[in-house]
Amino acid sequence: MLNKLLASLDESERAAVDDEEYAVLKAVAAELPSVKRDVLELIPTLQLIQTKHGYLPRLALRMVADHLGTTVSKVYGIATFYNQFRFNPPGRNPIKVCLGTACHVKGGEIILENFERRLGIKENETSEDREYSLERVACIGCCALAPAVVVGEKVEAYVTPSKVEGIITEIEVRKEMAAREQKKDEE
Amino acid sequence: MKSNKSPEEYLKEHADEARAAVTALKNSSNPVIYVGAATCGRAAGALETIAGFETALEENGITAEIRKVGCLGHCYAEPLVIIQNPGFPPLLYQKIGAGEAGILVRSFLKDGSDPCYEYLIGALEADENFPTLMDYPRYLYEKRVVMAHCGLIDPAEIDHYLAVGGYESLASGLKKGSEWVLEEVKSANLRGRGGAGFPAGRKWEIARQVEAEEKLLICNGDEGDPGAYMDRTLLESNPHQVLEGLALAALAVGAEKALLYIRAEYPLAVKVMESAISQAESKNLLGANILGSDFSLAVSVFQGSGAFVCGEETALIESLSGRRGMPKLRPPYPAVSGFAGRPTIINNVKTLSTVPSIIKNGAAWFLDIGTPDSPGTAIFSVVGEVEYPGLVEVPMGVTLEHLVVDVCGGIKNGKELKAVQIGGPSGGCLPASLMDTIIDFDSLRSVGAMMGSGGLVVMNEDTCMVEVARYFTDFTQGESCGKCTFCRIGTRHLREILHSITIGEGLPGDINDLTEISEAVVAGSLCSLGKTAPNPVLTTLRFFRDEYVAHVEGKCCPARMCRTLTAFYIDLEACARGCDACVACCPTESIFTTSNRKKAIDQEKCVKCGECVYACPPEYDAVRRVSPPELIPDQGVEPLPENEKEESEA
Amino acid sequence: MSDKLVTITVDDKEISAPAGSYLLPVCLENDIYIPNLCYLEGMETPPASCRLCLVEIEGRPGPQVSCRCLIEDGMVVKTNSEEILKLRQIAFRLLVSTNDGSCKSCISNRSCELQQIAKFLHQPLRTKRLRHIDRAYPPLIDDHPYLVYEPKKCLLCGRCVYVCNNIEKGYKLSFAQRGMDTIVSFFGSDLDPASAFCKECFACTEVCPVGSLSSKEKWKAFVDGLK
């Protein structure tokens, strides 16, 4: 199964896929055989890939379509309908700014702008070094802690423009420390 | 296998065991620490709190048990902790971080003398030495039926639910029969808590009467309203209550298959429910031949992929079927022909969570709560500018005034209440003059709002109603499935017009266009998302028309919220020489020093985030906000000459 | 549908038709025109998405879509009340407010259903009453081997998706994206030649009311002819 799908990539397709994405495709090819061949499994399957890899690579849609016996256009049509699915790899530090009602009233929009300014990317973009990605989400259900932001898995409460600075600095410091640790280990 | 024992006898064995286990925990000679660790609690740092307790307990050599519980609804006070220390009543503490956890362990658990009154909210049981929770005004108005056990029992353990009488309603339902369950819910006039208020019993009856090989019951937990989170709280805090309600509904309908449709954005709720299902199955409370009866129910979880429109029944069924979640015209109604053509009943989490208490206490008891046409309680997530935001459960019939002022402590910072937005994107904005409106399905609808999902946002004088309408329209427009013309394009035009108005580009005919398009979208849309989408626009036009006019004609935002129409300046009279508080906070470095060493804002660079308003020390309070921006007075501001700057830095 | 005939009154005209028929085709057959875009003859459950065929039915609250309304004996229908006319006009204005391109250079000029509806409703094809909304699509999508798609002309009526999916085998057209971004997609035609095996039946282009979806060959000939 795995070999068949991956081997069917022609040269130009293989060239268009970087190593990271190829690894994801390989993983998807390994996971698919355990999925029941039933169109009802389509959304759960896409969820599985999304949750595990953070996005749905273009070619993974084809694998899912092949496995479930449907067409790529249908799979694409469904995947693009729902908010949950992404088609580009997220940053290592995905930042989700909540713009639910309470967060909006308390200035969530301004927080989003501050992230955009600080990171130099717009919403729904990933920074060039793939370190950060930024998106808005509709209500994470922490309305009493507004405005709220989810950084990675962690919810940051009562975010202000100056706290935006703090959040990014903290990530940078942690990165710096990890890099030093690694360097030390290597030595 | 049908057993000779009655379902009640069957259940009693489990319940006795559970009660023994829970009593042992309650009477434990060691302290027990309950930490509110639902999603909201975790956001506020509950996991750090737990780590703090663990470290402190170890350091002080104390043996205590830590339990994660759900959410009490006191969101303003998170992380919440209940400590059951032998010799004391169970005590509820607020805002307990890791540091406070350490203090509680040392002062209260180790020395046993100081119950740390500074963090205390109250005792859960009457006690002469402590104020009890019931003494708070909030509890005079609240009536907890559905949320009665939320935050007090461990959602990860079925025993905790069994010990408080859980699944007794299911056992008696099984004994007395499906007809009886249906009649009881019908005569209780339980109206669907998902928003529309259709009587649940009547819906069940329709599906019950359809002849079909298989029927399906779905619990709708696809809570998508940006500002409501009670469904998630119920799923996370008392999962078995949902399952018991689901089983009773399935019994009444004659369904042997049930699904929990939960948003994928609620990973904790999914996890809690999955574990609850398997625990219930292991005790034969779900699965084949429940409690020895001939009723079987297979329950599974389906994760919703995030589309607000999937809260609509026909769209939800489409998405379950592995298709795009686009609503279909009714009839046929899902109760007659739904998923795969089978009779399908979809009930909201709150509706199902209410069912066990109706079966336990009877329809007459339920009819005694609330108003004649809307019996029972309503759960609201009250957020925004109130002193105590959170989840509250009040009997229907309470006024908005009581809800906002008495239960939630009124408006923060001594400001004026301007409006409440009730019912989320399908609801409406009601002005302060309508605060005596009674909360029930029909009263709210008569003033143009809706019970909706129960989201309630309280707004003060600093909130612009045009901007609020724009926000909700932006949301529904983005969530429109795109199927029908009125909703797809009509809501987009509403958004465009509202956006233009809020940035000062409103045209003279815009207010009339808003009304005309809104009314057409209400009349012409295919599904309830479209039909209700213009409600925020229509209600703000009705109650706050002046604000629209001010934006369009005067290019002025009276609430000074719309940023294009607002500007900030520093009042040089009030500003203190040499103070730099605002400079450091400005994200765009737009604040500079003036020739007399005070501060001024470069309007070109200012992004109007308002951060300097908070940074300016209250004793000076020098930052002013005006709309339109032309109102900035000429204060003859000159920047400090370059050479003097260096001097002062040196 | 049964053989039993029922009698209904539409705009004061009495009509007999088989019980269980939908109202819209019954009216159309009896020379009572009701504008419509998403309906196709023979559909079992029309999608009722274009909302142009709204009518008033005595005893029922609010406007009703005639394409999904089963006729009943004694039913009294009004297709031209003031409220209905206003709603249709607004629906029409909404549709054209998102449309681009000029009729002169359009392959379906003079055979376009939108032009017919405009005439019937006395509405211009470019509305000044509403702001223009630009849909963020390229003007032309032509990576399909046999089809070209001009998304800015598309009214999203869904007829093409419907007919394509009712053909037994072969490659299927589908809707993609959501809301205002919705588009008819043949995603995969470049990605997966095997599954993109289009039968070249061109049923989809035949049902397109506005010339948004065309056969590549005909479209090329038309464009060359323009030059």
In-domain check, residue A88? no
Q: C174: nearest CA in chain B?
A: B324
Whether B480 sits inside 8 A of C179 (CB atoms) is yes
* CATH number for B120: 3.40.30.10
Q: Is residue A66 domain-resident? A: yes
Domain C-terminal end among B463, B487, B518 = B463
Kindly list the averaged pLDDT for each block of 10 residues, start to end, along chain B of length 650.
Answer: 78 94 91 93 92 96 95 92 94 96 94 89 91 86 95 96 97 97 98 91 97 97 89 96 98 98 92 98 97 97 94 96 95 95 97 98 97 96 92 96 94 94 92 96 91 90 95 96 97 98 96 98 96 96 98 97 96 93 92 93 93 93 96 91 65
The CA-atom distances, in angstroms, between C46 and each of B610, C100, C160 are 52, 27, 13
| pLDDT score, position A142 | 81
- Angstrom distance (rounded) from CA B274 to CA B107: 39
Number of other CB atoms surrounding residue A38 within 10 Å: 12
Tokens of C104: 């002169």
The domain boundary, picked from A46, A79, A112, lies at A79
Q: Which of B305, B475, B610 sits opposite A82 (nearest CB)?
A: B305
Cα separation of B251 and B254, whole Å? Answer: 5
The residue ranges of chain A whose pLDDT is under 70 are 1-10
Model pLDDT, residue B650: 42
Q: Which residues of A touch C177 (CB under 8 A)?
A: 80-81
Residues 6+ apart with CB under 8 A from B103: B116
Distance CA B522, CA B531 (A): 4
- Using CA atoms, how far residue B406 sits from A63, B167, C8, in Å, is 58, 34, 58
CB within 8 A of B75, min separation 6: which ones? A143, A144, A145, B40, B389, B390, B391
**Is the separation of the CB atoms in B471 and B498 below 8 Å?**
no
Predicted confidence (pLDDT) at residue C195 exceeds the cutoff of 50 = no
Same domain for B351 and B220: yes
Tell me, what CATH number does A114's domain have? 3.40.30.10
Query: Which residues form the domain of B203?
Result: 158-367
- Verify that B122 and B200 share a domain, yes or no: no
Q: What is the CATH number of the domain that holds B478?
A: 1.20.1440.230
Alpha carbon distance B569, B224 (integer Å): 39
- B512 and B543 share a domain? yes
What's the rounded Cα separation, in Å, for the pair B595 and B593? 7
A20 is in which domain, residue-wise?
2-79
Q: What is the pLDDT of residue B142?
A: 92
C136 interfaces chain A, CB cutoff of 8 Å: no
In this structure, the answer to whether residues A20 and A75 fall within a common structural domain is yes
Which helix (H) or strand (E) segment is C84 a member of? helix C82-97
Write down the pLDDT at residue C143.
83
* Residue B21 resides in a domain: no
| Claim to verify: residue A72 and residue A150 sit in the same structural domain | no
The H or E element containing residue B168 is helix B168-176
B53 and B177: one domain?
no
- Maximum Cα interatomic distance, chain B, rounded to a whole number of Å: 98
The 10s digit of each residue's pLDDT in C64-75 is 999 999 999 999
Residue C187 and residue A81: Cβ atoms within 8 Å?
A: no
Considering the domain architecture, whether residues A102 and A150 belong to the same structural domain is answered as: yes
Same domain membership, residue A12 and residue A74: yes
CATH number for B428? 3.10.20.600
Q: Do residue B499 and residue B575 come from a single domain?
A: no
Q: In what helix (H) or strand (E) does residue B137 lie, and over which residues does it extend?
A: helix B137-141
Q: From chain A, pick out residues whose CB is under 8 angstroms from the CB of C164.
A: none
Q: What is the pLDDT of residue B136?
A: 85
Whether B345 and B272 map to the same domain: the answer is yes
How far off is chain B from A48, nearest CA to CA, in Å?
11
User: A59 CB near a chain C CB, below 8 Å?
Assistant: yes
Domain assignment present for B457: yes
What's the CA gap between A105 and B608, in Å, rounded? 15
Tell me which fold the domain C5-80 belongs to.
Ubiquitin-like (UB roll) (3.10.20)
- Return residues 45-84 of A near B (CB < 8 Å): 46-47, 51, 77-78, 81-84
Structure tokens of B405? 């002022």
Q: How far is A31 from chain B (nearest CA, A)?
A: 19
CB–CB of B558/B627 below 8 Å?
A: yes
Query: Distance, in angstroms, between C21 CA and closest chain B CA?
Result: 15
Region class of B177: left (phi > 0), else alpha (psi between -120 and 50), else beta: left
**Min distance A68 CA to chain C CA atoms (Å):** 13
The answer to whether C162 contacts chain A (CB < 8 Å) is no
Continuous segment of H or E residues that includes residue B455: strand B455-460
Among B87, B103, B135, the domain-final residue is B135
Q: Could you give the 3-state DSSP secondary structure of residue C175?
A: strand
Is B316 inside a domain boundary?
Answer: yes
Query: Are residues A127 and A53 both part of a single domain?
Result: no
Structure tokens given for C84 = 């209905």
Residue A85 lies in a domain: no
Phi, psi of B386 (to 5 degrees): -105, 160
- CATH 3.30.70.20 in chain C is located at 92-226
DSSP-derived 3-state class of residue A35: coil
Kindly state whether A132 is in contact with chain B, defined as any CB-CB distance less than 8 angstroms: no
What CATH number is attached to the domain comprising B582? Answer: 3.30.70.20
Domain shared by B323 and B340, yes or no: yes
Nearest-angstrom CA–CA distance, B56 and C226: 83
> Could you identify the residue written with the tokens 């079987």?
B296
Total domain count for chain A? 2
Q: Taking residues C66-91, what's their average pLDDT? A: 96
A139 HSE (CA, 13 A, CB side): 29
Of B419, B409, B402, give the one whose Cα is nearest residue B76. Answer: B409
Q: Which of B490, B520, B554 is the last residue of a domain?
A: B554
Are B485 and C63 in contact (CB < 8 Å)? no
Last residue of a domain, one of A51, A79, A107: A79
Same domain as B230, residue B284 = yes
> Residue A36, exposed/middle/buried by CB under 10 A (0-12, 13-18, 19+)?
exposed
Same domain, yes or no: B284 and B337:
yes
Ranges for all domains in chain C classified under CATH 3.10.20.740: 5-80
Same domain, A102 and A131: yes
Label the pairing between strands B216-221 and C76-78: unpaired
pTM for the whole structure = 0.94
| ipTM value | 0.96
Q: Are residues A97 and A182 in the same domain?
A: yes
Chain B: give the shortest CA distance to residue C226, in Å.
32
Burial class (CB in 10 A: 0-12, 13-18, 19+), B66: middle
Q: Which residue has the tokens 């233009």?
A: B500
Are B363 and B224 part of one and the same domain? yes
Distance, in Å, from the CA atom of B472 to the CA atom of B449, rounded to the nearest integer, reads 13
**CATH number for the domain harbouring residue B335:** 3.40.50.11540
Residue A39 backbone dihedrals phi, psi, to 5 degrees? -60, -25
pLDDT at C172: 79
Residue A84 within any structural domain of the chain: no
Residue B587's region, left for phi above 0, alpha for psi from -120 to 50, else beta, is alpha
Shared domain check, A104 and A58:
no
Tell if the CB–CB gap between A59 and C185 is shorter than 8 Å: no
β-bridge partners, B33: B66, B83
**Position C135, amino acid:** R
CA distances (Å), C109 to each of B263, C112, C175, in order? 47, 6, 25
User: B116-120, B335-339, C166-170, C217-221: lowest mean pLDDT where?
Assistant: C166-170
In chain B, what residues touch C182 (CB-CB under 8 Å)?
Answer: 481-482, 488
- CATH fold of C92-226 reads Alpha-Beta Plaits (3.30.70)
Estimate to the nearest angstrom the gap between the alpha carbon of B194 and the chain centroid: 13
Pair type for strands B377-384 and B390-395: antiparallel
Test the A interface: residue of B459, B609, B616 with most A CBs within 10 Å: B609
Length of chain B (residues): 650
Measuring CA to CA, which residue among B130, B170, B162 is closest to residue B290? B170
Q: Are residues B192 and B294 in the same domain?
A: yes
Q: Do B485 and C130 touch (CB under 8 A)?
A: no
Is C60 near chain B, with CB under 8 Å?
no
Domain boundary among A53, A79, A105: A79
| Max CA pair span of chain A | 53
CB atoms within 10 A of CB C40: 17
pLDDT at C56 over 80: yes
Domain count across chain B: 5
User: Same domain, yes or no, for B168 and B305?
Assistant: yes
Instruction: Show residues of chain A in contact with B385, CB under 8 Å.
Output: 105
